[in-house]
Amino acid sequence: MKKGIIIIGMGKGLSLGIAKKFGSEGYQVGMISRNEQNLKAYQSELATENIESLYATADVSNENELITALEKLKDNMSNVNILQYNAVDYRMVPVLEETAETLTNGFKISVANALTAVKYLLPTLAENKGSVLLTGGGTANYPYSGMSSISLGKAGIRNLTFQLNDALKEKEIYVGSVTICNMISEDSATHNPTILATKFWELNESRNEVEITY
């Protein structure tokens, strides 16, 4: 049976790089984001590289929409072996311009609904002795007041990574993250999507580190 990876927070940069890397290694790719037009474009681009993909739309801040999208993908994919959570409340808003409401909504996107996705897919991941791969960021350790929600979100996802790694060991589910400490750019010699996707691949293959900082 073909292996599968579901990427939540699908975008044209890192997420697409991960989709191409795992797809080139034989994985079927499931994608979730809000924008169906973009998802169709990613699906077409992946198809040019003979990578099979499916998609479902959801506002990742909405727990019910996310579960519905996961259910659609799980029911139509050959298998789900890896959950890759790449969603983040990507807003360049200074901390003093944030409110309790905006930060709470951002936490749902960046952290809380990663847990929602893990819990929904738990039976399948346990059956497959699968993996949860989370996208970390340098602002977890070096917070910046000009991107408050992102900084708080990456701190939360790093903490969640270690908690889930501990909690899911007995089910033989691996949980790890790549903490990315630079801007992601196609033109970067060190932090382009292809290089970073390889870091996720290596993390998943070794399954012996909770966090890679790069």
Domain map of the chain by residue range?
4-213
pTM of the model: 0.96
- Other Cβ atoms closer than 10 A to 193: 22
Structure letter (DSSP) for residue 110? I
Architecture of the domain spanning 4-213: 3-Layer(aba) Sandwich (3.40)
Predicted confidence at residue 185, as pLDDT, reads 81
Residue 200: is its pLDDT beyond 90?
Answer: yes
Q: 127 in the Ramachandran plot: left (φ > 0), alpha (ψ -120 to 50) or beta?
A: alpha
At 208, which amino acid appears?
N
Predicted confidence at residue 183, as pLDDT, reads 83
Read off the pLDDT of residues 19-51 as tens digits, 9 standing for 90 and up: 999 999 999 999 999 999 999 999 999 999 999
- Which helix (H) or strand (E) element contains residue 29? strand 28-33
Read off the pLDDT of residues 129-173 as tens digits, 9 standing for 90 and up: 999 999 999 999 999 999 999 999 999 999 999 999 999 999 999
